[in-house]
Amino acid sequence: MKVLLLAHDLGLYGGVGTFNYELVEALIKRGVEVLVITRYNVDFVSKPAGSGIHVNMLCSPEIPPKDVVFYLSNMHTVTEIARRFKPDVIHDTSGGLRFLPWLSRYAPTVATIHGSPLLDDLRVKYGSFRDWLRLRLYQYSHYVPAKMMSLLCRAGIDRAVFVSKTCLADALVRLDPKSKELLKTMSVVIYNGLSIERVRSVVRESSSYDEYSIAFVGRLMEYKGVSRLIRAFSHVAKEFHKAKLHIVGSGPEMTRLRELSRKLGLESNVVFHGWLPRDDALKIVSSSALLAHPSLYESFGYVIVEAYALGKPVIAHRAPYSKELVEELGAGLTVDTLNGKAFSEALLTLLTDKSLYRKYSIKAQEVAEEIFDIGITASKYIKVYESLANQ
What residues does each domain of the chain span?
2-195+373-390, 196-371
Looking at domain 2-195+373-390, its CATH architecture is 3-Layer(aba) Sandwich (3.40)
Is the predicted pLDDT of residue 267 greater than 70, yes or no? yes
pLDDT at residue 121, as a whole number: 81
Class of domain 196-371: alpha beta
Residue 307 near residue 315 (C-beta atoms within 8 A): no
Residue 9: name the closest of 79, 106, 116, 95 by CA: 95
Where does the pLDDT of residue 124 fall: very low under 50, low under 70, confident under 90, or very high at 90 and above?
Answer: confident
| Secondary structure of residue 22 in the 3-state scheme | helix
Domains 2-195+373-390 and 196-371 fall in the same CATH topology: yes
* pLDDT tens profile 145-174: 888 888 888 878 999 999 999 999 999 988
265: left (phi over 0), alpha (psi -120 to 50) or beta: left
pLDDT at 190 over 70: yes
Asked whether the whole model's pTM tops 0.85, one would answer yes
Q: What's the gap between Cα 338 and its chain centre?
A: 23
pLDDT digits (tens, 9 = 90+) for 352-386: 999 999 999 999 999 999 999 999 999 999 999 99
Write phi, then psi, for 389 (nearest 5 degrees): -65, -40
In degrees and rounded to multiples of 5, residue 5 shows phi and psi of: -110, 120
Please, what's the b/e burial string for 324-359 (b: 16 or more CB within 10 A of its CB; e: otherwise)?
Answer: bbbeebebbbbbebeeeeebbebbbebbeeeeebee
Q: How far apart are CA 57 and CA 96, in angstroms?
A: 15
Region 23-33: what's the mean pLDDT?
93
Nearest to 289 by CA among 196, 366, 364: 364
CA distance 94 to 113: 8
